[in-house]
Amino acid sequence: MIGRGQTDEDIRKKHEDLVALLERLTAEIGSFQNEGRGKLIEPYKQFFDVETGKLKETAKHIPTSEKFTSRSLFLCFVFCDTLVVFSERLARVMSLIIDLDRKRPKVRLWAPSGFGKIGRKLMKTRAYEGEDIKSVVPLSMGTAADPSEYIDSENSTMRGEDDVDDDEDSTRERSPPPNKKAQADLDDRCERRNPDALPPRTGMGRFAVRLGSFFRWFKSAEGIFALRTAVVTLALWIPAVAPSSAGFNYQHKGLWALIMAQTSLGVYAGDQIAGITVRMIGTVLGLLVGMAVWYIGAGSGSGNPYGIVVATTVFIAPFLYMRVVAPLQDAMIWILAGVTIIFVVGYSWIDTHLLIFSNSGVGVELGWRRALLVVIGFTAAFIVMLFPRPTSARTLVRRTVAASLEHLGRVYASEVDAILAEEAKGRKGILEKPNMDEHIEGVEVSPKEKRIRKLAEKLLAVATRLQALTPSLTTGKWEPQLQGSWPQQHYQALHTLETRLISCLALLAGSFVRLDTNWCYILVHKTPFLNPYLLADVFSTISVLSHALSAGHPVPASLPRLRDRLIYHDRHMFAHEQSVPLSLKDDNEKAEPGHASTKALDPSPNKVDGVTIGFEELTLDVLMDDQLPAHSTAVLAISSVLGIVDEIADIIRILCGETSFEGISALHQEYLSREEAMLYHPRGP
């Protein structure tokens, strides 16, 4: 594209094609919203009266197994709403591409806008919130960040003045200065503070904080890894420079032992043991194939270049192919196998055709010497791994999963806070509609869009961290199991559940984009999902579970099940609104004392998972409302969040145990039973 010139006609045609594609996508989105939803609702119209739009009386008396329930329809709405949200975001991206294509019609090679940014990125001392901690360059030797923790880069009192995302410099240059009060409303209202020291107020104090961060780095897993690398490097380098052993080391290629020791070291014990095993398999495979290649090409003599080249090409080709197509975790086997084949053949050829100081041997003799060097390097790496203590990958998995759960709880709190902010605007008479042109230069971004972008960054940070944790879930099994077998399947289940939790929170954020203030009011005040007491239960449960897993403490026995609390708050809200006795019984089945029964949930069309979805009666007009898909997505997303947290709690109870105080538990159940008795059998006025 750079070498081939484009005419003005080509540039104009390309721009017109992009505009036509955007118009087609926009038209399809509108057509789907106007006609596609009608086709989806068509099978359900038989349950409603055509004139009144209300549910038919005959439909209300259908057996429970055949009764019309709204959950299946709401699941379809979730798919439709997600598809529409994705399509609208895609349209925004295309609009941005068209805008850039209009401003920069010709291809050019762009240079960096400022070399100062590169220097600041190289010397930065910590990763940003959305950045993988392992991607920080080694020049930043003063970082004290823990890869198993999420540090709020914007609100931490340990944050330096230069910890600013330089990628947003150009955006800030074009955008007007933001309202500080509005920006503060978008940020998390919590600060990470050191409980043992007040925030520094002087320049010397800030310097001392940074100096302390530098020394704390040596206690981190990365600092210990750096010290181990230095120790093993010096230990295997000294024989190469000592007068009494330099000749022996050079003759037998001792440098290879040093290289293998350095490359086999790992930050965590499980990663290193798994890496040593994989590298050993690749080395043995390469030695066997390399010796076979040499004897096939050279026979019992010194060989000729044509036979050696043909044999090497035939045998090395499969390893090159596997290096390209094999999964990343298996790539080291094929890399070392291929390198070892070339080493065996190459050094055998040098030994038989060139006059050199050191004689490495030929074929089998060269092979066993190379294997011995590899074993020496691996042994040295394994010895330094044991001191001062092995850094466990299992601990990394446990603490990362716990920190991710806590961070997802904060993300959920931010999403709830955003919904409540929109609902408050509705009560004040402030109505906002999504602006499709908020990405264009000069168009002010709404607070709602800013919230969505911040939430997306936080969810992406957790998803990236969990994805980076996947190899450790496998390598953790390689660590010595001196205290018992590692429950890898439970941590794998926690990893999967947190990934599902990210998806649910993403669905909730996507539905928030499309919800107007009126439906935010319905979600807040007409459903139990955002009941403040239920939210307190959710946030406290997530916090307790996270700290219990991180510290290895047992889970409190009084920790409630969120599903039970959801049913309880739903019926509590209904009892206050109707002032009529409600019954927990269904077909003479009694609820468990202290908990609302979830075994026989109400399958009414205006309920999902046994709780109300925001309106007293499901009518055809409600089904045709264009806000219902977004509302149903939010309802199912929050309901799924509560169910996932309950599943996580069950697994953490298995891993950490559960405290048992029979007296307190009995008193707790007694008080809950009294409260439910007053709720479901209220006294008259």
Name the stretches of the chain with pLDDT < 70: 1-5, 58-70, 112-148, 151-191, 430-445, 573-610, 616, 675-676, 678-685
Take residue 379 and report the two structure tokens written for it.
Answer: 């042994």
pLDDT at 169: 43
Range list of H helices, 305-358: 305-325, 331-353
Q: Identify any residues that bridge with 608 across adjacent strands, giving them in sequence order.
A: 611
pLDDT at 53: 73
The 10 Å CB-count burial string (b at 16+, else e) for 64-89 is eeeebebbebbeebbebbbebbebbe
The 10 Å CB-count burial string (b at 16+, else e) for 536-554 is ebbeebbebbbebbbeeee
Q: How far apart are the first and last CA of the chain?
A: 82
**Residue 225 to residues 149, 228, 231: CA-CA distances in angstroms?**
19, 5, 10
Residues 316, 292 contacting (CB under 8 angstroms): no
- Which residues neighbour 108 within 8 Å (Cβ) at sequence distance 6 or greater? 2
The 10 Å CB-count burial string (b at 16+, else e) for 379-398 is ebbbebbeeeebbbbbbbbb
Question: pTM of the entire structure?
Answer: 0.78
Q: Is the peptide bond before 176 cis (omega within 30 degrees of 0)?
A: no
| Rounded-to-integer distance, Cα 605 and Cα 613, Å | 9
pLDDT at 230: 94
pLDDT at 493: 96
Query: pLDDT tens, 598-656?
Result: 434 444 555 666 677 777 677 778 888 888 888 888 988 999 999 999 999 999 999 99
pLDDT at 594: 39
pLDDT at 330: 83
Residue 51 half-sphere exposure toward CB, CA atoms < 13 A = 0
Residue 405 half-sphere exposure toward CB, CA atoms < 13 A = 31
Give the DSSP letter of residue 612. Answer: E
**Residue 622 to residues 69, 437, 511: CA-CA distances in angstroms?**
15, 30, 17
Name the 3-class secondary structure at 534: helix
